[in-house]
Structure 1
Amino acid sequence: MSLWGKRDDMVVHERDPFNAEPPRAALAGRRTTPPDAFYSRNHGPVPDLDPDAWRLTVDGLVDRPLELSLAELRDRFAEHEVAATLQCAGNRRAGLAAVRAIPGEDPWGPGATSTARWTGVRLADVLAEAGLRAEAAHVAFAAPDVSQLADPPQPYGGSIGVDKAVRPEVLLAWAMDGRPLPRVHGAPLRAVVPGWIGARSVKWLTRISARAEPSDNYFQATAYRVLPADADPAAGGGISLGPITVNCDILRPDDGDRVPSGPTEVTGYALAGGDRTVARVDVSVDGGRSWTQADLDDGDSPWTWRHWRTTLDLPRGDVVITARAWDSAGAVQPESPVHLWNPKGYANTSWARIALTCA
């Protein structure tokens, strides 16, 4: 095992803060992602919180502010489980960096996407107990991990709209895949916001505040925004990221593999955000002039990826396999990363491509 109990073959982009993704093969054929392969995105040092001393504060635009221990959360509210895929907003950033350099940002591949079964209580139930007021339009999350990316440095935070916060799929989770959260994944408690970028599923939660406006934390007000190509990332503005846009990638074979020519199974994942689901995945070996429709598994919930597979007859020589996904609203991935490039390298939803040599 490498750092934080992860696989030895994790692609480690940074050691501190720890940012790492699994290789493609670790995700292939797995409906859930083992904790040792689950991607890890952090903005500061991983906190070491004492679960017995830890408390969650619920305040802001509520009638009855709360302070809850982990035991009180478990005793006072019904337990729920949600299968959900989390995806980093920077997933597949390497494809954008190949178009034009993105200084200061980790070159994530397709592995900043992972799935688990999360156990906890519904955020909606906690907000109801606190007496959420009608004027509350946003719910802000605060954590103790201090990031040097903000100037001056500040703890991590973010927010989601009340309409999402009160949905039954949004959890305050203390377990993943039936076991207590690992420290690197947010123990003792984290938010899980299915269908939204991973940055909104805040780890190591210490405070939840109902607000009239979005969080003014750096990671809500300035970071995690899609900016025009010529914009200054430090200036903020742009489009604040929330729901995920339809995306997919190829998991097997791996990019750069040498494989026999002839019938070859190709597999991958596809994910749609918000309230949408994956409706179709197409795969091509001729640059998109013709497509083969892949078979899709059922997925474990509306909030998880769908794995896909197809068999392609690969010719000898150099071959590029391309994949694209469609969602239930009819949206499809755009062809080229050239048209998606932005200064922070977020939301690369262009067609997935791998290059093979077929003998």
Structure 2
Amino acid sequence: MDVPGKRDDMIVHQQEPYNAEPTPSALAEHVLTPVRAFYGRNHGRMPRLDPLAWRLSVDGLVDRPLELSLAQLREGFPHHEVIATLQCAGNRRAGLMAVRDIPGQHPWGPGATSTARWTGVRLADVLAAAGLRAGTTYIAFEAPDVAPEADPPQPYGGSITAAKATSAEALLAWEMNGAPLTVPHGAPVRVVVPGHIGARSVKWVRRITAQDHPSDNFFQASAYRLLPADTSDPRPGDGVALSSVALNSDVLSPDDGAVISAGSTTVLGYAFAGDDRTVSRVDVSVDGGRHWVQAELAEQVSPWAWRLWSATVRVPAGQVEIIARAWDSAAALQPEHAESVWNPKGYVNNAWPRITVTAR
């Protein structure tokens, strides 16, 4: 499937449905990821919706069910924006596949992570207009795209807690980096849930339901769940439903496998921590972790965004492994080894990133 407006060098894992990530070097170029380089994660064919015909239903445990057009959404509520990083739960899965095979999953590298400025209205304001009832604990979303992997086949969906849904950062967005959303990124309106895995920022949203339990949609009850390593035959509800993004980082430059000049080398990367945690420190080592150089962190452009970082290290001649590690504001440190976080679906690989270069 040809996706107009994307970089020619996108790493495409699947054409239909479209799943692709930017190269690490492309991701390192901007704090705000250009739309043409922003990763794409899809489970079904991308729907092309007429903005004039689009309607958003708000129902469930509400006093005043709503049906809103795009114009009513734009004109009826105050506009807000948030700079937020979205990260796929399968980001860096290739590192777990190197430990043990994970059949049927895309081998995502570090590029299933991107950052944008989102503009729209607060989900909280729309829910307030509908009149949330006491006892509402979850807000569920439904989109029109149907995923073949869902059992039974069903439109894509998911849910977040009512507390997160009524926070100031959760949006119903129609703009991305100052321009209207494109089809690959959820036009005409998508949910943006900063700090949560990308799967909860439902694209092409058409229905919002207030309820007293999590969504029973396949992608909430079965797909995006962290399972123990020894799980062999999971059932719906097994494992832990994924929500907040774990502390993570990766090296974006030099490229893994690159041939570089020995001596002083600049290493670039990103680090990100979900929800109300921020990245506080990143270190880089070129000698197996015996010595570390503290990286310089770029400006924190938003509480909900990654931090790009750079470190200058001296690389000896020969084959060298470059390692990074990050801490967050809760004093959490990334786990050292991918073996310790391997799981049957390849989610949440937040082990120390490692690349190998040859210095001459």
- Per the TM superposition, whether the score is higher than 0.5 is yes
Show the 5 A alignment for 1:229-244: 229-232=229-232, 234-236=234-236, 237-244=238-245
Q: Decide whether the 8 Å contact of 1:31 with 1:299 is kept in 2.
A: no
Q: Residues 298 and 180 of structure 1: is their aligned pair in 2 closer, same or farther, counting only changes over 3 Å?
A: same
Correspondence for 2:270: 269
Question: 1: CA distance between counterparts of 2:102 and 2:147?
Answer: 20
Q: Which moved more, 1:156-165 or 1:24-33?
A: 24-33
Distance 2:225 2:276 in 1: 21
Number of aligned residue pairs:
359
| Other structure's SS at 2:128 match | helix
Question: What residue in structure 2 maps to residue 25 of structure 1?
Answer: 25
Alignment correspondent of 1:217: 217
1:127 corresponds to 2:127: yes
Counterpart Cα distance in 2 of 1:120 and 1:3: 24
Cα contact 1:270–1:305 (8 A) shared by 2: yes
Tell me the distance in 1 between the aligned counterparts of 2:170 and 2:73. 15
Q: Letter of the aligned partner of 1:71 in structure 2?
A: A
Tell me, in whole angstroms, the C-alpha distance in 2 between the residues paired with 1:153 and 1:62: 28
Q: Which amino acid aligns with 1:239?
A: V
Q: Structure 1's 291 and 222: CA in aligned 2 closer, same or farther, altered over 3 A?
A: same
Please say if 1:76 is aligned against 2:71. Answer: no
Q: Equivalent residue for 1:149? A: 149
| Cα deviation, residue 20, structure 1 | 0.2
Which runs of structure 1 show a deviation greater than 6 angstroms over 4 or more consecutive aligned residues? none
Q: What secondary structure is seen at the aligned counterpart in 2 of 1:338?
A: helix
Change (3 A) 1:230 1:22: same
Deviation (angstroms), 1:3: 2.4
Q: Gaps (5+ residues) in structure 1?
A: none
Asked if 2 retains the 8 angstrom alpha-carbon contact of 1:29 and 1:307, the reply is no
2:228 aligns to what SS in structure 1? coil
Shift of 1:297: 1.0
**Partner residue, 1:3:** 3
1:134-189 CA distance string (max 9 Å, x none): 21000000000000111221110000001111111100000101100010100000
Give the Cα separation in 1 of the matches to 2:21 and 2:43: 15
Q: Secondary structure at the match of 1:216?
A: coil
1:298 CA drift (Å): 1.6
Distance 2:53 2:3 in 1: 26
| AA matched with 1:298 | E
Q: Say whether the 8 Å CA contact 1:233–1:343 is kept in structure 2.
A: no
2:261 matched to 1:260? yes
Give the match for residue 50 of structure 1.
Answer: 50
Greater displacement, 8-17 / 285-294:
285-294
Which residue is equivalent to 1:278?
A: 279
Find the residue that maps to 2:223 and give its secondary structure.
Answer: coil
Aligned to 1:339: 340
Residue identity matched to 1:193: V
Q: Residue by residue, what CA displacement relative to the aligned partner does 1:206-257 show, whole Å, maximum 9, x if unpaired?
A: 0000010000000000111110112136423001100000000011111011
**Shift, 1:133, TM fit:** 1.0
Matches of 1:4 and 1:213, distance apart in 2: 39
| 1:316-355 matches, cutoff 5 A | 316-355=317-356
Measured after TM superposition, the shift of residue 29 of structure 1 is 3.4
Question: Residues of 2 paired with 1:274 and 1:232: CA distance?
Answer: 31
Runs (5+) with no aligned partner, structure 2: none
Structure 1 residue identity aligned to 2:344: P
Residue by residue over 1:244-298, the C-alpha shift from the partner in whole angstroms, topping out at 9 and shown as x without a partner, is 0000001111101100001111110000002100010011111112211101012
Provide the C-alpha distance between the structure 2 equivalents of 1:233 and 1:291, rounded to a whole number of angstroms: 42
Looking at structure 1, the residues matched to 266 and 56 of structure 2 have their Cα atoms a distance apart, in angstroms, of 48
| CA RMSD of superposed structures (Å) | 1.0
- What is aligned with 2:175? 175
The corresponding residue for 1:292 is 293
Instruction: Output the CA distance in 1 between the equivalents of 2:82 and 2:73.
Output: 17
Secondary structure of 1:4's aligned partner? coil
Whole-angstrom distance in 1 between the partners of 2:347 and 2:161: 21
The residue number in structure 1 matching 2:96 is 96
Give the Cα separation in 2 of the matches to 1:182 and 1:261: 43
Structure 2: distance between partners of 1:77 and 1:232: 48
Q: Distance in 1 between matches of 2:347 and 2:291?
A: 29
Amino acid at match of 1:261: A
How far did 1:6 drift? 1.0
Q: Distance in 2 between matches of 1:238 and 1:287?
A: 34
Q: What is the distance in 1 between the residues matched to 2:301 and 2:210?
A: 31
SS of 1:222's equivalent in the other structure is helix
Q: Distance in 1 between matches of 2:152 and 2:265?
A: 53
Whether the 8 Å contact between 1:2 and 1:8 is mirrored in structure 2 is no
Letter in 2 for 1:14: Q
- Hey, what's the Cα distance between the residues in 1 that align with 2:2 and 2:259? 28
TM-score, structure 2 length as denominator? 0.98
Q: Distance in 2 between matches of 1:150 and 1:234?
A: 14
Alignment of 1:185-196 (within 5 A): 185-196=185-196
Distance, in Å, in 2 between the alignment partners of 1:143 and 1:156 is 5
